[in-house]
């Protein structure tokens, strides 16, 4: 099986995703698909692309939920999902060939397609559903944080961000170093009560979710009591935890 880096990476690159701001436009998903159609993880193949049984590889997927019932607290929440680049990723430690690995310099979790045998052990170990089998290539693929873009010195510094971040019209996705307390993502996480998805698993996701704020209609409505380990997560993320834990 594959080992994790012996020491904690000096950088911990990841995303802070604002569930209060996301409008569910899928720009993150489509721009991700376009950028990663070539390069490090390309191609992201599709099967029966124009048929009813279309399927393929997407590093970003956006799910939409109606939460809070029909009362004053009811609202629509859009939930983007991609790899969280965990500090303790089981997808890496179950890999029998060393194809799945965590970078020691920045904590990004990647897949070496030359070593991958498509056994799917990593996808079974990941509780977040972030791994996808490219059935055409026969290998596992996943979000790379656009590692071939964020370190590309031919791009202007402001453009060295993941494709999903660059495309978001609502500025709901933020990229940075969680090891730096002065970074935008660290400050947003502290200010907004940024939340680890499924913290009870112990995988310590690097990327965080910023919970939805109460809507104006719900400001006067009493909030349901929250369990101590989910303080600040909001009722929506608490519900997502229950769904993903089934």
Domains and CATH numbers, the chain: 13-244 (3.30.70.20)
Instruction: Provide the pLDDT confidence category of residue 227 given band limits of 50, 70 and 90.
Output: very low
Q: How far is CA 91 from the centre of its chain?
A: 14
- DSSP assignment of 133-202: EETTTTEEE---TTHHHHT-TTS-GGG-S-HHHHH-TT--EEEEETT-TTSHHHHHHHHHT-B-SSGGG-
What is the average pLDDT score of the chain?
89
Region 35-48: mean pLDDT is 91
Chain center to CA of 116? 22
Q: Decide which of 69 and 26 is more confident.
A: 26
Mean pLDDT within 211-228: 56
Burial 104-130 (b: 16+ CB within 10 A, else e): eebbbbbbebeebeeeebbbebbbbeb
Task: Compute CA distances 123 → 13, 82, 128, whole Å.
Answer: 22, 13, 9
This prediction's pTM: 0.85
Residue 213: its pLDDT value, please? Answer: 84
User: For residue 200, is pLDDT > 50?
Assistant: yes
pLDDT at 219 over 90: no
Name the band, by pLDDT with cuts 50, 70 and 90, for residue 95. Answer: very high
pLDDT of amino acid 98: 96
**Average pLDDT of the segment spanning 8-22:** 96
Give percent above pLDDT 70 in the chain: 87
pLDDT attached to residue 216: 56
> Of 89, 95, 94, 90, whose CA–CA distance to 113 is shortest?
95
- Whether 238 has a pLDDT exceeding 80, the answer reads no
67-85 mean pLDDT = 88
The pLDDT score that the predictor gives to residue 234 is 62
On the question of pLDDT at 226 being above 70, the answer is no
Bridging pattern class, strands 13-18 and 55-56: unpaired
Report how far residue 14's alpha carbon sits from residue 19's, in angstroms, rounded to the nearest whole number.
16
Q: What are phi and psi of 191, to 5 degrees?
A: -70, -35
Average pLDDT for 129-157: 96
pLDDT at position 58 over 60: yes
Residue 225 pLDDT: 39
**CA torsion 120→122→126→129, rounded to 10°?**
-40
Dump pLDDT digits (tens) for 160-181.
999 999 999 999 999 999 999 9
State residue 246's pLDDT score: 60
Residue with tokens 């009493």: 222
pLDDT score, position 229: 47
More confident residue, 118 or 75: 118
What is the C-alpha separation between 220 and 241, in angstroms, rounded? 26
Quote the tokens at residue 198: 């499924």
């Amino acid at each position: 099986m594959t080992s994790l880096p012996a020491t904690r990476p000096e950088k911990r690159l990841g995303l802070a995703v604002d569930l209060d701001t996301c409008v569910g436009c899928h720009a993150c998903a489509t721009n991700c698909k376009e950028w990663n159609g070539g390069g490090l993880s390309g191609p992201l193949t599709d099967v029966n692309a124009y048929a009813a049984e279309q399927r393929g590889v997407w590093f970003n997927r956006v799910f939409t939920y109606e939460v809070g019932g029909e009362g004053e607290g009811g609202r629509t929440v859009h939930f983007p999902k991609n790899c969280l680049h965990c500090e303790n990723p089981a997808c890496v430690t179950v890999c029998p060939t060393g194809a799945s690995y965590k970078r020691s310099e920045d904590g990004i979790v990647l897949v070496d397609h030359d070593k991958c045998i498509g056994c799917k052990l990593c996808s079974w170990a990941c509780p977040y559903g972030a791994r996808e089998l490219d059935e055409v290539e026969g290998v596992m693929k996943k979000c790379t944080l656009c590692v071939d873009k964020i370190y590309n010195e031919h791009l202007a510094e402001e453009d060295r961000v993941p494709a999903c971040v660059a495309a978001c019209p609502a500025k709901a996705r933020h990229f940075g170093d969680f090891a730096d307390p002065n970074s935008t993502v660290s400050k947003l996480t502290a200010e907004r009560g940024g939340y680890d998805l499924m913290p009870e698993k112990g995988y310590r996701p690097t990327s965080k979710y910023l919970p939805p704020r109460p809507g104006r209609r719900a400001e006067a409505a009493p909030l349901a009591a929250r369990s101590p380990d989910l303080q600040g997560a909001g009722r929506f993320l608490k519900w997502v935890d229950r769904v993903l834990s089934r």
